[in-house]
Amino acid sequence: MIVVIIVASVLLASISIIQFKSEAKEYHQERLERKENAVREHINYILSTTTYPLTTENLDLIFKDKIHELAHIHNIEINIYDLDGNLLKSSKETFSVDKVAPPIPKYILKLVRSSIEKRYVDITTINGIKNRSSFTQIKDDKFKPLGVLNIPYQEDDGFYDKELHGFLIRLSQVYSFMLIVAFALAYFLSSYITKSLKTISDKLNETRLNKKNEKILITANSKEINLLIAGYNQMVDELEKSAIKLAQSEREEAWREMAKQVAHEIKNPLTPMRLTVQSFQRRFNPDDPNILQKMKDYSETLIQQIDTMNSVASAFSNFASMPAQQNETLNVVEVVELALDIFTENQIVFESEAPEIISKIDRTQLIRIITNLVKNAIQSIPEQQEDKRVAVSVKKEDNNVLIVVEDNGIGIKTEDIYRIFEPKFTTKSSGMGLGLGIIKNIIENYKGSIDFETEYGKGTRFTVSLPIINS
């Protein structure tokens, strides 16, 4: 709207200026013709009433007194030349006929003689002012040329300039008012129109696959915007269905992978158990003096494999079930220190910035987090390494408690960094690789986070952030 009004005002102003100039040009042209025709009629009357013979030489005598009368009556300057372009008489008071008077240029005389009307208008511009000068042949009653009538005319555009200036001022006032109105209308209309679009834009920015998305419950006055809102709401429905299908598919895939892993882990101890039983069955002899020792070895082998199967089943059960929150008010520093007491390694160092950091959290799950991280830290340090160190620290930051477990072990390889929390992934020769997955579930269930920094060959630093739940 604003652009259209501005363009329209510029075009109208330009057309008006061109029109005023065109009218001014036509006005001066017509005015000069009217003056010229009136002067010629008057000259013809003088020539018809004079007593002098009608010759070029007598023009000076004929118009000796009449030329000033003509100039005064018609309010215009008049010059009379002979057929060769020499000045014979002029209405200028200060003009004297002598050799200094400039004659009519030869090309003008030629143009006058060659034209049908025996007339030519010369236009020149001096100091920015346009001057017209008409040249017409003076003829006797038998149409015989006697001389050349010259009427100089200086264009005065003051009236048109004044009118144009006033028109442009009025035009600018009208369009300034229209611009103000257009600005106001554009602002309110755009705000009204884009209000619904802003709501749609905000909803689109908030749309996520992994969360419940809200529909747009507004009705716009625009049919197109209503269609857009309907399309968005339909997309939300489809997105919710897709999210449910995706979550179901991910769960099924996770359970299939877990079932494969559990089956594999269970098969490992079954094979040595089967071989042990078959070997004992073939070699069993009640009279063997070492029968008691063999029975003992056989039993220990079976018990060891049974314990392995039991640990596999326990790990799977723990991973499959989300930890229940049995929150209690406790001193996090004290619980962490208690969890470290079960470790007999001398390389464990504990520090806290405060003797107590009170929070409301499940004691068992917190101990489980600490135990798993410290155990992994100890196992990451090679046996042959002389300087072994595992540092555990607790501190409070804003409304969170930070638990940091840092070791100087072998670290994590670059290609393994993005898989470290994957279920069944492990870099150790034993275990199912469920430990970090389990504690990650526990931490996220408390709306916390776990992160780590590592450098291969120098060590790893795990940081657990848990919100302090006020009672």
Domain residue ranges in the chain: 2-161, 223-320, 328-467
Residues belonging to the chain: 471
359 exposure class (CB count in 10 Å sphere: 0-12, 13-18, 19+) = buried
Taking only the tens place, the pLDDT of each residue in 123-170 is 887 776 778 888 998 888 788 888 888 888 776 666 666 777 777 788
> Given 3.90.1150.180, 2.40.110.10, 3.40.50.300, 3.30.565.10, which CATH number is that of 328-467?
3.30.565.10
Give residue 318's pLDDT.
Answer: 60
H/E stretch holding 343: none
Q: Is 360 left (phi over 0), alpha (psi -120 to 50) or beta?
A: beta
Beta strand 348-352 pairing with 459-467: unpaired
- Residue 106 sits at φ, ψ, to 5 deg, of -60, -35
C-alpha triplet 341, 346, 350: angle, nearest 5°: 55
SS3 244: helix
What is the distance between the alpha carbons of residues 332 and 101, in angstroms, rounded to a whole number?
A: 120
Give residue 99's pLDDT.
Answer: 47
H-type helices in 115-157, by residue range? none
Using the structure block, give the residue that is written with the tokens 């595992």: 390
Residue numbers in the chain where pLDDT is lower than 70: 93-101, 128, 155-161, 195, 208-212, 217, 220-222, 251, 254-255, 258, 261-262, 264-265, 267-269, 271-272, 275, 308, 311-312, 314-326, 423-435, 469-471
What is the distance between the alpha carbons of residues 367 and 348, in angstroms, rounded to a whole number?
A: 16
| Class of CATH domain 2-161 | alpha beta
| Class of CATH domain 223-320 | mainly alpha
Give residue 393's pLDDT.
Answer: 94
Using the structure block, give the residue that is written with the tokens 């920094």: 453
pTM above 0.95, yes or no: no
Task: Give me the chain's average pLDDT, please.
Answer: 79
246 within 8 A of 209, measured Cβ to Cβ: yes
Q: Which residues pair with 364 in a beta bridge?
A: none
What is the distance between the alpha carbons of residues 193 and 387, in angstroms, rounded to a whole number?
A: 70
